[in-house]
Every structure is written in structure tokens, then in C-alpha cells.
Amino acid sequence: MPGPTTYVVNSFRLVQLIDRQIQAIAFTPIELHAVATTMGASKQTCEKIGGDQLLTDKGYFMSFPRNVAPGASPGPGLDALNRVAVDTIAAAFDKLAAEGTTVVELFDWVRHEIFAATMEATYGPHNPFRLPENEKDWL
């Protein structure tokens, strides 16, 4: 990344220590950039989840670890989330296989299926992203 000084931490012990300092070390701009690049989030989406509160406790990225950590910690909760995500992706592969020979835009297909699996695991039966327009608005 051109511009600011970049430090690479390759010690697991140090990574754990740094990870606990979410108020002192700002990962949120990096997370926002990752969402924009890897998920193809629109400029409007990035403005909504980044916005003026990017580095405040009320901001989306600062509250995310606090809200997600209990369910994503090793154990039955994470196992259940993974099971739903894997089942969702397996169903997508089954659907693709049933169509026979098919050509897909690989990036778009993978992005959609990973997004769908993650949202299905996260929201369950009340998943708002089952509606194509909601997924479109997110991306």
C-alpha cells in the first residue's frame, strides 16, 4: 500500500495482542477497503457503513466485533453457522450441477454464493438478502 508506513506482524502472540487493541489500532479503514474490493460494495454502501462514524463506537465496523464475537467463537454456535453456510453452498453446487453444462462469470457466481451462504447463516429464516433487490442494493 503506497503512502503510509505498513507494519507486518508475523508473530501469533503479537497478533493476539494487537487484535485486542481495537480502540488504539484502526483496522476499520482497512476493513472498509476490503468490503469495497472483495465484495464489490457500491460507493453508497461504503458511505453508509463507513460514513462519519467509521472510528466511533457507534460505527458499523467498531460495533461488529463486539456483536459477532460471541456467536463466532469456537463451539456450538460457530459450528451451527458453518453448517448452514456449507449447506447453502452445497445446494448452490447441486443446482448448478442439475443445470448441466453451464457457463458462469466465476467472480460474480462465487461472490453471490459466499454472500448468500454468509447471510443465510447469519440471519436464518429472516434473511433479508433472499430478496434479490436487497442483495443488489448491498452490492
For 11-60, the pLDDT digits (tens) are 878 877 776 666 666 667 777 777 777 777 778 877 777 766 666 666 67
- 95 pLDDT tier (thresholds 50, 70, 90): very high
Which residues lie below 8 Å from residue 77, measured CB to CB, with a gap of 6+? Answer: 70, 71
Q: Is the pLDDT of residue 86 over 60?
A: yes
Task: Decide if 120 contacts 85 (C-beta within 8 A).
Answer: yes
Chain-centre distance for alpha carbon 94: 24
Question: Model pTM?
Answer: 0.54
- The ranges assigned to domains in the chain are 1-73, 74-139
At 127, the amino acid letter reads N
- 73 pLDDT tier (thresholds 50, 70, 90): confident
